[in-house]
C-alpha cells in the first residue's frame, strides 16, 4: 500500500455504511472467485471509510475478513455525496441486471432525499450563523427535482435504466415483503408484475398496520478477528485510557470512530454475558472474552464502582472465561478473582518489572499471565519470578498514528523465551512478532 500514503490498517469488526448497501451483494459464485483472487494477491486498493464505516469495498472487506488478511483503508475524501460516490465507483465494475440497477436506483433516492434534507438543515444553520460553507456540495438528484417522479427519472439516468423501472422498484421496496424484494433483486421475479401484485394485495388490506416501535437491541460481546486465537470475543463496558502509550492502537480507533478516548462506562453493556449465545463448541478459546480491549480497566482514574459492577457480571457468567490485562497491576491485588478469570499485566519495558512482580506475589487467580507486547527493550526478571505467571505473551509493535511498527531484537526475545520456559511458563508468540534468528557459521 506504499502508493497510498494516507492508508492505514483497520480492525476486522467495522460496520458497513448504509450507503454501501445500495449496490446489490455479489452472488455466491462470483464472491467465491473474488475471494480466490484476493487470497492470491491480497488487497490491492484500500477500502474507503466514511463516518468510521465501510463506504466502498465491502466485498473486499468481507473477503479479507474471512481470509484473515490485513485490511488497509483510507478515509473518503468527500467532494460529492456518499451515495453518488458509491454508485459512480461501482456501476461499471459489476454486471448488474435491470432489476438490480432499478432497485439500487430506488434505494439511492431515499438516501439522496435524506442527504438533501441534512444539507438544507445544515445550510440553514450555517446561514443563520453567518458561517461560510467550506465543503464543496453537489446537488443530489432529489434536490434538483423536488418531485419523486422526476427523482426516479434522474436516478434512472444515473443507473442506466428507465425512470419507470426505478419507480416500480421504489414501490416494491416501500411496500413489498423482504422475500418479494429479494426475488426481484436476484432476478427471480420481474419488476412490473411484482409491483402489480403488491398493489393488488395492498388494496385488500382494510387498515394500515402500525409497526411495533423499534427497541434497542440487547448488548452482546463483539466477535474478534479470527487471528486473535486466544479470545474469540471482546467486551468493552469501559472504554478510554489515560496511560498515554505512544504506540496505542486503541486510542487511534477511539479517536477515529468514537470521537475521543476519555474513560467512559457503558452500564448497558453489563448484560452482554447473558445476551451472547454460548458457542456450541466447548473448546476453551471459544469462550474466552477479552475484557476492555479499548481501555485499562484498572487505571488509577477508574472508579471502584465500575470495577465492582463488572466483576459482579463476570461472577454471574461462569460459562464464559474473562481475560483481564492492565498496566497498573497493584490494583489487581485486592480483587477476589473468580475461577473464570485470567489475570494479566503488560510489561513492555524494564521499569514495569518490579511492580508486576510485587503485585503477582499477592494475586490469587486461576490463571496469571504476563504480556510483553510490545517488547520495546531488553527485559530481565529476577530469578524465580517468572514462575508467578502461568503464561507469557511476547509480541512486536504494530503501527499506530503515534509510533511506527517495531520488531524487538532477536536476543531480547530469545532470553525472555528461555527464561520463561525454564520457569515453567507457557509461551505465546503474537503474530506481529516476525523476528527470527539470522546467524551464519564462521562469521560469514
Ligand atoms: S494502556 Fe493500553 S489502552 Fe491504555 S494507552 Fe496504553 S496501549 Fe492504550
Domain residue limits, the chain: 8-204, 222-429
Mean confidence (pLDDT) of the chain: 83
Work out the angle at residue 438's Cα, subtended by the Cα atoms of residues 436 and 444, and round it to the nearest 5 degrees. 175
* Cα four-point dihedral sign 427, 433, 352, 335: negative
pLDDT for the residue 38: 85
Q: Does the CB atom of residue 296 touch ligand 1 within 6 A? A: yes
pLDDT for the residue 211: 54
Q: Does the CB atom of residue 243 touch ligand 1 within 6 A? A: yes
Question: Is the pLDDT reported for residue 411 higher than 60?
Answer: yes
pLDDT for the residue 444: 59
Q: Does the CB atom of residue 253 touch ligand 1 within 6 A? A: no
Q: Does the CB atom of residue 232 touch ligand 1 within 6 A? A: no
3-class secondary-structure state, position 238? strand
pLDDT for the residue 376: 97
Q: What is the pLDDT of residues 253-280, one digit of tens each?
A: 888 777 789 999 999 999 999 999 887 6
Supply 385's cell numbers: 519470578
- What is the pLDDT confidence band of residue 29, given thresholds at 50, 70 and 90? confident
Q: Is pLDDT larger for residue 53 or for residue 296?
A: 296
Q: Does the CB atom of residue 20 touch ligand 1 within 6 A? A: no
Residue 300 CA to ligand 1 centre (angstroms): 13
CB 328 within 8 A of CB 298: yes
CATH architecture for the domain at 222-429: Alpha-Beta Barrel (3.20)
Nearest CA to ligand 1 atom 7: 248
For the CA of 244, the closest atom of ligand 1 is 5
Residue 159 CA to ligand 1 centre (angstroms): 47
Q: Does the CB atom of residue 251 touch ligand 1 within 6 A? A: yes
Mean pLDDT of 394-423: 94
* Cα four-point dihedral sign 96, 99, 105, 107: negative
Residue 249 CA to ligand 1 centre (angstroms): 8
CA–CA distance from 41 to each of 11, 49, 60, 68, 220 (Å)?
20, 22, 12, 13, 35
pLDDT for the residue 142: 41
Mean pLDDT of 156-179: 86
Q: Does the CB atom of residue 347 touch ligand 1 within 6 A? A: no
Residue 265 CA to ligand 1 centre (angstroms): 16
- What is the pLDDT confidence band of residue 139, given thresholds at 50, 70 and 90? very low
This prediction has a pTM of 0.56
* Cα four-point dihedral sign 326, 53, 114, 111: negative
Report which secondary-structure segment, H or E, holds 411: helix 410-422
pLDDT for the residue 126: 40
Q: What is the pLDDT of residues 57-113, one digit of tens each?
A: 888 888 888 888 889 998 887 766 777 788 877 777 667 888 888 888 888 887 777
Q: What is the pLDDT of residues 354-406, one digit of tens each?
A: 999 999 999 999 999 999 999 999 999 999 999 999 999 999 998 888 899 89
What's the CA dihedral at 259, 263, 266, 269 to 10 degrees? 100
For the CA of 241, the closest atom of ligand 1 is 4
pLDDT for the residue 125: 45
pLDDT for the residue 135: 31
Nearest CA to ligand 1 atom 8: 248
Cα(209)–Cα(212) distance, integer angstroms? 9
Cα(178)–Cα(387) distance, integer angstroms? 58
Q: Which residues contact 387 (CB under 8 A, 6 or more apart)?
A: 423, 424, 425
Amino acid at each position: 500500500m506504499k502508493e497510498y500514503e494516507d492508508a492505514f490498517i483497520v480492525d476486522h469488526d467495522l460496520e458497513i455504511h448504509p450507503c454501501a448497501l445500495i449496490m446489490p451483494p455479489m452472488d455466491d459464485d462470483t464472491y467465491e472467485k473474488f475471494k480466490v483472487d484476493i487470497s492470491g494477491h491480497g488487497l490491492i486498493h484500500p477500502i474507503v471509510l466514511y463516518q468510521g464505516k465501510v463506504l466502498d469495498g465491502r466485498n473486499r472487506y468481507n473477503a479479507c475478513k474471512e481470509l484473515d488478511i490485513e485490511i488497509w483503508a483510507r478515509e473518503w475524501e468527500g467532494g460529492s455525496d456518499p451515495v453518488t460516490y458509491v454508485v459512480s465507483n461501482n456501476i461499471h465494475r459489476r454486471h448488474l441486471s435491470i432489476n438490480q440497477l432499478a432497485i439500487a436506483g430506488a434505494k439511492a433516492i431515499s438516501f439522496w432525499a435524506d442527504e438533501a434534507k441534512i444539507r438544507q438543515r445544515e445550510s440553514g444553520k450555517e446561514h443563520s450563523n453567518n458561517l461560510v460553507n467550506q465543503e464543496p456540495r453537489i446537488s443530489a438528484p432529489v434536490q434538483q427535482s423536488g418531485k419523486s417522479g422526476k427523482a426516479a427519472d434522474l436516478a434512472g439516468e444515473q443507473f442506466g435504466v428507465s425512470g419507470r423501472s426505478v419507480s416500480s422498484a421504489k414501490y416494491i421496496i416501500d411496500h413489498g415483503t423482504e422475500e418479494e424484494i429479494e426475488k426481484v433483486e436476484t432476478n427471480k421475479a420481474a419488476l412490473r408484475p411484482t409491483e402489480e401484485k403488491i398493489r393488488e394485495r395492498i388494496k385488500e388490506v382494510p387498515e394500515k398496520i402500525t409497526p411495533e416501535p423499534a427497541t434497542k437491541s440487547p448488548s452482546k460481546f463483539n466477535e474478534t478477528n479470527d487471528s486473535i486465537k486466544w479470545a474469540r470475543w471482546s467486551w468493552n463496558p469501559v472504554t478510554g485510557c489515560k496511560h498515554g502509550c505512544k504506540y496505542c492502537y486503541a486510542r487511534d480507533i477511539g479517536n477515529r470512530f468514537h470521537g475521543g478516548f476519555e474513560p467512559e462506562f457503558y452500564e448497558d453493556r453489563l448484560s452482554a454475558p447473558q445476551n451472547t449465545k454460548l458457542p456450541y463448541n466447548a473448546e476453551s478459546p471459544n469462550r474466552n472474552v477479552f475484557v476492555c480491549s479499548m481501555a485499562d480497566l484498572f487505571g488509577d482514574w477508574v472508579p471502584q464502582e465500575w470495577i465492582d459492577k463488572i466483576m459482579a457480571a463476570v461472577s454471574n457468567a461462569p460459562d464464559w472465561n474473562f481475560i483481564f490485562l492492565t498496566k497498573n497491576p497493584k490494583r489487581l491485588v485486592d480483587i477476589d478473582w473468580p475461577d473464570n478469570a485470567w489475570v494479566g499485566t503488560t510489561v513492555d519495558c524494564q521499569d514495569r518489572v518490579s511492580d508486576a512482580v510485587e503485585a503477582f506475589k499477592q494475586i490469587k487467580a486461576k490463571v496469571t499471565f504476563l504480556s510483553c507486547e510490545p517488547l520495546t527493550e531488553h527485559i530481565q526478571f529476577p530469578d524465580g519470578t517468572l514462575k508467578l505467571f502461568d503464561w507469557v505473551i511476547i509480541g512486536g509493535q504494530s503501527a499506530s498514528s503515534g509510533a511506527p511498527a517495531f520488531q524487538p531484537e532477536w536476543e531480547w526475545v530469545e532470553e525472555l523465551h528461555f527464561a520463561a520456559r525454564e520457569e515453567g511458563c507457557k509461551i505465546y508468540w503474537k503474530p506481529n512478532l516476525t523476528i527470527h534468528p539470522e546467524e551464519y557459521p564462521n562469521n560469514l
